[in-house]
Structure 1
Amino acid sequence: MLPLGAGLMAAAPASADVGQDVARLPRVLVLATGGTIAGKADPRSAIGYDAGSTTGQQLVDAVPGVERLAHLQVEQIANIPSQDMNHKVWFRLVERINKAFAQHEADAVVITHGTDTMEETAFFLDTVLHHEQPVVMTGAMRPGSAISADGPANIYEAVKVAAHPQARGRGVLVVLNDTIHAAHWVSKADSTALQTFVSRNAGPVGIVDPAAVRFYGPARARLSLPLPSGTDLPPVDVIYAHADMDGRQIDDAIRAGVKGIVIAGMGDGNVSAPALQALDRAVAAGLVVVRSSRVGDGFVNRDVEVDDDAHHFVASYDLNPQKARLLLQLLLAGGVKDAVAVQHVFAFGY
């Protein structure tokens, strides 16, 4: 991996946008799903708002100058707050994006989305989409009715990145607040700040402003798995570790019939002795157990404080609990249920 700022690749200056032949502008399909970016103020508090209250077309119409970047087609896939995001919407997004690229309807896709689960949607799409064409996600931390709403600038810059030739082959990107993130690394780190997204353990892959798009080096290798057949994903629970933890939640998950458990462990994926015993019961019941961390930064490696080999656990390495859950769901849906095989994908990406 190149260090931040190495191999800087810059776009043409802003004047190139203005003078560009309109007939040659790229075609960008905007898929709207709701979120804060589509929210409107609510009087219940000074900063209260209702997400998913504005259509995608209204969002795009409110962005000055975006028509000079690309020919835009807007479609509404959903209009929900992202805390209600679900795999059914993900499957619809994949279906629409595959169709758009297969039938040459669009040169790139921009998805507007709430920030709460944006990293999960981005990771899912990045794993199951296998196109060179750019897919860029964006959202906002303030609703459109707020003072200094950030949505219009984020949409403008997302379209600018999607239309840029160097965005090809980079998988799903997340663009907010002048920063470009890769789906694998991006994570929401602040509940209210505009600069809410960080790229854990790696740093952003580029920057964007109204004048230029700049990427920090070439595209990186990424996970690639097929989209599961059918319309559902196997149930996998994330269980949060804490002091004085017993095995009740783990045993409840086993009885509920989940197919896997991801532990948001303490430190480098640790749990208490009673919880560890419950996880052994989960493995004995046929569940796949993945150890991740609640910390946020750093890796969860194998066989450090926990003997993963003896317990038949999987270490998540760089994936946080929510992304580890998605990867495990996709593997289980594809018939990969052996802990050794699951660990190989978490470690090597294939």
Structure 2
Amino acid sequence: MSPHLYRLPALFLYALFLALAPLAAAQQAAAPLPNVRILATGGTIAGTGASSTTTIGYTAAKVGVEALIAAVPELKKVANVSGEQVFQIASESMTNAHWLTLAKRVNALLAQPDVDGIVITHGTDTIEETAYFLNLVVKSRKPVVIVGSMRPSTAISADGPINLYNAVIVAGSKDAVGKGVLVVLNDQINGARDVTKANTSTLDTFRSPELGLLGYMQDNRAHFYRMSTRRHTLETEFDVSALEQLPAVDVVYSHANVSRVGIDAFVNAGDIGLVYAGVGDGSLAAQVRPALTEARRKGVVIVRSSRVGQGIVARNGEANDDELDFVVSDTLNPQKARILLMLALTKTRDTRAIQQMFYTY
């Protein structure tokens, strides 16, 4: 048999590839754009300054959602975008009531078949908290991306437009499905549970200092390299659809010469949960241990966290948590521990069950 006969299958396949390649390219070019809804809440991304060089001392939450969208005409090339102004506030003024309103709107939109993903524009000061709250209560695998900027829209080096553009791409990406709520700034994709604001003013402020970011934005694409192992969105037990308010929980910050005044004040004000942001491994100062113990006897659930910002708070490490009936925050920072404790208290006051939630979410 001629050796040329063995080449026929390969030649046939190559010819078939050449014939089908233009068709595949045409189909890809004709693929419908994803439908992405932008929910605007204010923040620096919607801020204005006195001049083009004003990057501090500006006024947040001045520009409306339609103007934000119009400022980035390239959005039309990557998604069918529509906007909605939910709030118009600086994020330091974000409240539990705002979170409930936002979560209910997000869930309502994600239930619609014509919405493929959501982008939330937000002030950077509390992005990590809003992101983690939504990470626990959104009931969909569709992407939810929170975005902001470190410089106002009027600055000559404003980072808002590129951040918004990247966020819309991620929200419309099939690769982002099922990865929980994401935070996108500075060409980086971070997960809601681990991300934190780490610098007061630089563009690279958002970090996941221990466990790392999830991916990067490059060439108009989301590139993911890891996923969180902690449960989120559809995998959680939390449902806010019927909630009108969240339980009263606050954070008590420890320091040298700390007193029990803050603890007593919060308990007297009616808190049913407290997060103690202790030094080191959540250590209890001698002068506050009695106050926390008394608060627990009154039914207040106590979570030991750490002001350090990294590391596991060890159960029965710096305190006998079993004996005191306290909960530890695992790796959650105090502000995120507060969020999980609030949601946990909508389900139970059993500290053993709540501790398991901290190891799950």
Normalising by structure 2, we get a TM-score of: 0.88
Partner SS for 2:189: strand
* Structure ranking higher in helix proportion: 2
Measured after TM superposition, the shift of residue 217 of structure 1 is 3.4
Q: Could you say which structure has the larger radius of gyration? A: 2
Q: Is 1:26 paired with 2:44?
A: no
Measured after TM superposition, the shift of residue 114 of structure 1 is 0.4
Measured after TM superposition, the shift of residue 196 of structure 1 is 0.6
Partner SS for 2:358: helix
Maintained 8 Å contact 1:77/1:89: no
Measured after TM superposition, the shift of residue 60 of structure 1 is 1.3
Runs (4+) of structure 1 exceeding 6 A deviation are 16-19
Maintained 8 Å contact 1:18/1:68: no
Q: How does 1:232-271 map to 2 (within 5 A)?
A: 232-271=245-284
Map of 1:159 onto structure 2:
168
CA distance in 1 between counterparts of 2:126 and 2:113 reads 29
CA distance in 1 between counterparts of 2:119 and 2:275 reads 31
Equivalent position amino acid for 2:289 in 1: L
CA distance in 2 between counterparts of 1:318 and 1:17 reads 46
Q: Cα gap change, 1:92/1:20 in structure 2, threshold over 3 Å: closer, same or farther?
A: farther
Map of 1:69 onto structure 2:
78
Equivalent position amino acid for 1:67 in 2: K
CA distance in 2 between counterparts of 1:158 and 1:66 reads 10
Map of 2:358 onto structure 1:
346
Partner SS for 1:232: coil
Measured after TM superposition, the shift of residue 230 of structure 1 is 2.6
CA distance in 2 between counterparts of 1:171 and 1:132 reads 7
Maintained 8 Å contact 2:255/2:279: yes
Map of 2:3 onto structure 1:
none
Measured after TM superposition, the shift of residue 97 of structure 1 is 1.8
Unaligned runs of 5+ in 1: 1-15
Maintained 8 Å contact 2:284/2:318: no
Partner SS for 2:210: coil
Map of 1:129 onto structure 2:
138
Measured after TM superposition, the shift of residue 18 of structure 1 is 12
CA distance in 2 between counterparts of 1:163 and 1:273 reads 52
Measured after TM superposition, the shift of residue 210 of structure 1 is 4.0
Q: Cα gap change, 1:204/1:283 in structure 2, threshold over 3 Å: closer, same or farther?
A: same
Task: Please say which of residues 178-187 and 247-256 is displaced more in the overlay.
Answer: 247-256
| Aligned with 1:85 (options 76, 82, 94) | 94
CA distance in 2 between counterparts of 1:19 and 1:57 reads 32
Map of 1:225 onto structure 2:
237
CA distance in 1 between counterparts of 2:299 and 2:27 reads 62
CA distance in 2 between counterparts of 1:221 and 1:295 reads 21
| Aligned with 2:304 (options 284, 291, 307) | 291
Maintained 8 Å contact 2:132/2:193: yes
Map of 2:56 onto structure 1:
47
| Aligned with 1:302 (options 311, 315, 322) | 315
Measured after TM superposition, the shift of residue 227 of structure 1 is 2.4
Measured after TM superposition, the shift of residue 105 of structure 1 is 3.0
Maintained 8 Å contact 2:312/2:331: yes
Map of 1:273 onto structure 2:
286
Q: Cα gap change, 1:18/1:219 in structure 2, threshold over 3 Å: closer, same or farther?
A: farther
CA distance in 1 between counterparts of 2:344 and 2:215 reads 30
Maintained 8 Å contact 2:96/2:245: yes
1:253-293 Cα distance to aligned partner (Å, 9 max, x none):
11111011101110111121110111001101110000111
1:185-227 Cα distance to aligned partner (Å, 9 max, x none):
0111101010011113210000003433210035644241322
Q: Is 1:328 paired with 2:341?
A: yes
CA distance in 2 between counterparts of 1:160 and 1:103 reads 19
Report % sequence identity: 45
Equivalent position amino acid for 1:28 in 2: V
Partner SS for 2:256: coil
Equivalent position amino acid for 1:93 in 2: L
Unaligned runs of 5+ in 2: 1-23
Maintained 8 Å contact 2:100/2:243: no
| Aligned with 2:349 (options 300, 325, 337) | 337
| Aligned with 1:176 (options 178, 185, 190) | 185
